[in-house]
Structure 1
């Protein structure tokens, strides 16, 4: 049975090591959001660095999730002191559970505050794609899918909540997300 991969990417206004209250708040909220989402029905797993070190993204050992990668448009730092991004890579059983987890609870509250922490880049901030049940997506897969989405729009192999596709490649509909006019024809 296919599983749903989700890659998210955002450019933060300040580096992860910034001691300012907004950065500390982002970390605190993020930790609580991860705990809540990991208990959501349909959640399977997410990429975690082997040592669990915050801010150690580029240097970390990500195991089966592969070498850490970011989209070409990310132009900020890549050291522990200068990295200014937040990204996730996760696996889900289906679209509906992912939507429910992301648009409810603590994550919904965090979404409402996203412009306190993140720059408006004009690029997509998430992408979905289906993988077979024996595949663990990699960071490079996520970057490739997000860049494809940016360049070509939603397609069966790289899509958004607003323009989703089923595992067989046919357009899908998620009740409560998007409108009939947003759906592929």
Structure 2
């Protein structure tokens, strides 16, 4: 049975290593949100760096999730001191489960604060696609799907919660 891959990407207003209270707040909320999301029905897994270092993205060992990558439009730093981005890569049983996890509970509350932490962007901030049940998507998969969504709009290759497709490529209505 196929699984839904979900990649999210946002450019932060300040580097992850910034010692400001706003950055600390983002981390504190993010850690709590991820704990809750990992307990949500339909959640399967998410990319985690083997070393677990906060703010280390490009240099981290991501195991089967592959080398960390970002969309071409990201123009900020790539070191632990300068990186100003937040990205997630996760696996779900279906779009409804992922949607519910993102738009309810603590993540919904965090979304109301997103412009305290993230720049407003003209690019999509998430994309979904289907993978086989034994497939672990990579960061590069997520980037290429997000760029495809940006360039071509929703399609079976890369879609959004509001314009989704079934594993066979058939458009499905958002519930």
1:33: which partner in 2?
33
TM-score (norm 1): 0.94
Q: Secondary structure at 1:107's aligned position in 2?
A: helix
Aligned residues: 175
Q: Secondary structure at 2:7's aligned position in 1?
A: strand
State the distance in 1 between where 2:148 and 2:96 align: 23
1:5: which partner in 2?
5
1:127: which partner in 2?
127
Q: Does 1:101 align with 2:101?
A: yes
Query: 1:95–1:174: 8 Å Cα contact kept in structure 2?
Result: no
State the distance in 1 between where 2:2 and 2:98 align: 14
4+ runs deviating over 3 angstroms: none
Shift of 1:157: 1.1
Shift of 1:162: 1.1
Q: Secondary structure at 1:75's aligned position in 2?
A: coil
Task: Provide structure 1 residue ranges, at least 5 long, that are not aligned to the other structure.
Answer: 176-185
State the distance in 1 between where 2:174 and 2:44 align: 20
2:83: which partner in 1?
83
TM-score (norm 2): 0.99
Q: CA RMSD in A?
A: 0.5
Q: Secondary structure at 1:128's aligned position in 2?
A: strand
Matches within 5 A, 1:36-115: 36-115=36-115
1:148: which partner in 2?
148
Task: Provide structure 2 residue ranges, at least 5 long, that are not aligned to the other structure.
Answer: none
State the distance in 2 between where 1:139 and 1:67 align: 7
